[in-house]
Amino acid sequence: MHRRLFRWRLAVAAAGALMLLALYFSLVYAPTERTMGQVQRVFYFHLGNAWNAFLAFFLVMVASIGYLKTRSRRWDIYAEALAEVGVVFTTVVLITGSIWGRAAWNTWWTWDPRLTTTLVLWFIYDGYLALRASLENWETRARLSAVYGIVGFVNVPIVFMSIRWWRTIHPVVISLSGMDMDPRMVPAMLASLLAFTLLLGVCTVLRAQISQSADALQSMKDAFRQD
């Protein structure tokens, strides 16, 4: 018990330290972008959340496959936790993207392929959570959600490739040829990616433990009713 608590405190402390480091690199160390000015700094947090939304939904697919193969409740719990955290990250992506878009394109929203496919992604996983909430039997819920979680991931590569497949106002910042940014901006980008990745892990495990505790409590209630 004490070791688990220590590991949790260490993970939370590491996430907090990385987040402070990301704030320093993003708000202080990185140079001010010549065209957009200070508003460009939201890019680092926008990218960090976008990467982790993609990662969360990829892991939802992995956990869904794991459940269908093993029928283990543990896989289902982590799929649900990852989906919830992924939706939160996607919400932040849409908000920060709107702030960035207002400064760059003088509009809060436009039906650009990247924005549209990201909004569709948000609706897909909101639908995943709504499906789970609508089914009472956990085995039926887990099975149908697993299929949904696998199929829903199809939209993730579409979002990623949208700025390469279609004409879009979104710039291609990272490509096989390199990074289209000032080298001093790279540490801010990497620090943000690492900080939000660790935050994803901490939030997911915490959410999964809440579900496991709820299952244990329900099992105790069922046992008392049988007695």
Q: Which of 26-30, 171-175, 207-211 has the lowest mean pLDDT?
A: 171-175
Mean pLDDT value across residues 78-100:
95
The predicted model gives 75-99 an average pLDDT of: 95
Distance CA 144, CA 57 (A): 16
Computed over its alpha carbons, how large is the radius of gyration of the chain? 20
Structural domain span for residue 142:
39-171+184-211
106 belongs to a structural domain: yes
Q: How many domains does the chain have?
A: 1
Domain assignment present for 147: yes
Q: Assess whether pLDDT exceeds 70 at residue 2.
A: no
More confident residue, 173 or 144: 144
Q: Mapping DSSP to helix (H, G, I), strand (E, B) and coil, where does residue 11 land?
A: helix
Residue 132: the pLDDT is 95
Rounded average pLDDT over 195-222 = 86
Q: Are 118 and 170 in contact (CB under 8 A)?
A: no
Residue 93 lies in a domain: yes
Residue 15 pLDDT class (50, 70, 90 cuts): confident
Specify the pLDDT at position 101: 81
Residue 161 lies in a domain: yes
Is-contact 135 144, C-beta < 8 A?
yes
- Residues 28 and 218: beta-carbon distance below 8 Å: no
Predicted pLDDT at 8: 73
Calculate mean pLDDT across residues 55-63.
Answer: 97
